[in-house]
Amino acid sequence: MTVWTRLHHTRSRLLAATVLFSAVALALISGSAAAAPCDTYGSGGTPCVAAHSTTRALFASYNGPLYQVRRASDNVSLNIGVLSPGGFANSAAQDSFCANTSCVITIIFDQTTRRNDLTIEPAGTAGPANNGVPADALPVTAGGRLVYGASFSGRMGYRKMAANGTAVNGQPEGMYMVTSGTHFNSACCFDYGNVEVPVADTGNGHMDAIYFGTLCWFPPCNGAGPWIMADLENGLFQSNTGVSQNTANTGNRSPYVTAMLKNNGQNFFATKDGNAQSGGLTTRFSGALPTFRPGYSPMHQEGSIVLGTGGDNSNGSIGSFFEGAMTAGVPSDATENAVQSNIVSVGYGGPSPVAGGTLNPGSTISLRATTACCTTRYIRHQNNNVVTSVISGSSAALDRNDGSWIVRRGMANNACVSFESRNFPGDFLRHQNFQLRRQPNDGSALFRADATFCPQAGQSGQGTSFASFNFPTRFIRHFNNTLFIASNGGPNNFDAQASFAADVSWVVSSPWAP
């Protein structure tokens, strides 16, 4: 390096530092918001063509709606906007609109001018039509305020067909999403990014989306995941050979994860992830597009946008989404680092911790029977059925996990409760033909009603009884150690009057698996 080049580099660095310092100083002096992710992508020469979030504006000047909710009681919809330009979601508006009923998210609006709004995804070749995510299932804090992330169980997804401005046929693009390393599974495919125009698998290279989860498509993958991978269609790629080439990449279990993908559409792609609460990004792969199978180099993207499912609507996956954007052009590393800094500055965090053993949403509990026969028995799932078992501190971990439930806001009425399995996230306690089961939430109105129970004082004078939301004269009852919703003296054998009051009274206890 000549003296002149060294001087030139030093001058460029000084200039860059001065520009950055001036921008921050100007923002502080003027009180204007610092650059949000899409401002940063724009000034880096790779503008956002889509920007989606349920938590905040992704442009410093954005002042429009973030998402739309529809409530169950009367099917009326409301747009949820930001509290101020460039600010956070107005969750209080959602809370009052959805009080004593339940809401699902029907639209996640595009914050760019391209109107690439995500609506509930229709049926595809690999899965039936989707449902919207429950609007209040994922309360978190951002900027010190309560906001809601989007919590996907199976059979939930959003799509924008043939979006405006997204990459097609080998054009370059980048994208990121903030997701969670605590809510995932190994079903196909929790994706955000570029997919086909038909809801179908149209061949290798017709997708370019971020995948996050534990579906190891090309073994070996290292550690237990969940991993960021590039869903390029017919494969989730950790490298140009498919497999993980990096033994250090054991996945990312941070509560909030930044996941990034960029692809020049011809012969290069890169994946990165980071802790969305602190620090920088780690590059997981940066190199050639796969050539060991045809179709990926060059790419053949079709330009639709998906959130929550695979390109063909494979919709068994679960996951969390807080924000994400897609760009025209491949963002530079510097741009991506600046986006990560901005994400960290948001301060994503959990809502205030909730003590276990209570019926407050977020608390983990176990439910103990009170009938004289059975006071050491707890409600647990077993082979997808729900029964009571004797559980104690010395029980096997599996039994203690099966006997622990996370209290959630009632899916059909947020004044009641739902119970999510501790060890099968996304699966809930619901009744079906009056018997209780553990099943994945499919988001349907029937599931939401079947999985909602309204607590009242225990009928025996002890503990709590849980009335079924859609059969309010029926209560969670154990009968021959199997769980039903029963009505006192009703037509079924499990409705028997003998010991009814005790059988429907439960002690809400500290969880066997906290």
The binding site for ligand AHR (CB under 6 A) comprises 126, 188-189, 201, 231, 233-236, 310-312, 314
Distance of closest approach, residue 298 Cβ to ligand AHR, in angstroms: 17
Q: Position of tokens 């010395």?
A: 394
Rounded CA gap, 496 and 493, in Å? 6
Rounded CA gap, 408 and 130, in Å? 21
Q: Which is nearer to ligand AHR, 264 or 314 (CB)?
A: 314
- The H-or-E segment that residue 501 falls in is helix 500-503
Q: Which is nearer to ligand AHR, 205 or 403 (CB)?
A: 205
Task: Tell me the one-letter amino acid at 157.
Answer: G
Q: Which is nearer to ligand AHR, 311 or 403 (CB)?
A: 311
Q: Which is nearer to ligand AHR, 38 or 229 (CB)?
A: 229
Distance of closest approach, residue 230 Cβ to ligand AHR, in angstroms: 9
Put residue 512 in one of left, alpha, beta given phi > 0 → left and psi -120 to 50 → alpha: alpha
The tokens for 64 are: 């429009």
Task: Tell me the one-letter amino acid at 79.
Answer: N
Q: Are 405 and 357 in contact (CB under 8 A)?
A: no
448: nearest Cα among 86, 111, 19, 136: 136
Q: Which residue of this chain has its Cβ atom nearest to ligand AHR in the complex?
A: 310
Burial-class residue 200 by CB neighbours within 10 Å (0-12, 13-18, 19+).
middle
Task: Tell me the one-letter amino acid at 276.
Answer: A
Task: Tell me the one-letter amino acid at 246.
Answer: N
Distance of closest approach, residue 297 Cβ to ligand AHR, in angstroms: 16
Q: Which is nearer to ligand AHR, 290 or 310 (CB)?
A: 310
What helix, strand, coil percent values describe the chain, rounded to 5? 15, 35, 50
Counting DSSP H helices and E strands in the chain, the numbers are 7, 31
Q: Which is nearer to ligand AHR, 87 or 235 (CB)?
A: 235
Distance of closest approach, residue 31 Cβ to ligand AHR, in angstroms: 44
Distance of closest approach, residue 191 Cβ to ligand AHR, in angstroms: 6
Q: What is the Cα gyration radius of the chain?
A: 25
460: nearest Cα among 408, 500, 512: 500
Q: Are 146 and 234 in contact (CB under 8 A)?
A: no
Q: Are 174 and 262 in contact (CB under 8 A)?
A: yes
List b or e across 91-111, with b for residues whose CB sees 16 or more CB atoms inside 10 angstroms: beebbebbeeebbbbbbbbbb
Distance of closest approach, residue 312 Cβ to ligand AHR, in angstroms: 4
Q: Which is nearer to ligand AHR, 236 or 326 (CB)?
A: 236
Rounded CA gap, 240 and 284, in Å? 12
Q: Which is nearer to ligand AHR, 172 or 311 (CB)?
A: 311
Q: Which is nearer to ligand AHR, 217 or 471 (CB)?
A: 217
Q: Taking CA 274 as the corner, what is the angle to CA 246 and CA 185, rounded to the nearest 5 degrees?
A: 75
Rounded CA gap, 132 and 447, in Å? 13
Distance of closest approach, residue 252 Cβ to ligand AHR, in angstroms: 20
Distance of closest approach, residue 444 Cβ to ligand AHR, in angstroms: 23
Distance of closest approach, residue 313 Cβ to ligand AHR, in angstroms: 8
Q: Which is nearer to ligand AHR, 134 or 303 (CB)?
A: 303
Distance of closest approach, residue 306 Cβ to ligand AHR, in angstroms: 8
- CB atoms near residue 330 (< 10 Å): 19
Q: Are 262 and 173 in contact (CB under 8 A)?
A: yes
The tokens for 97 are: 């609109």
Contacts of 449 (CB under 8 A, 6+ apart): 411, 412, 469, 470
Peptide bond into 298 cis (omega under 30): yes
By annotation, the residues acting in catalysis are 233, 312
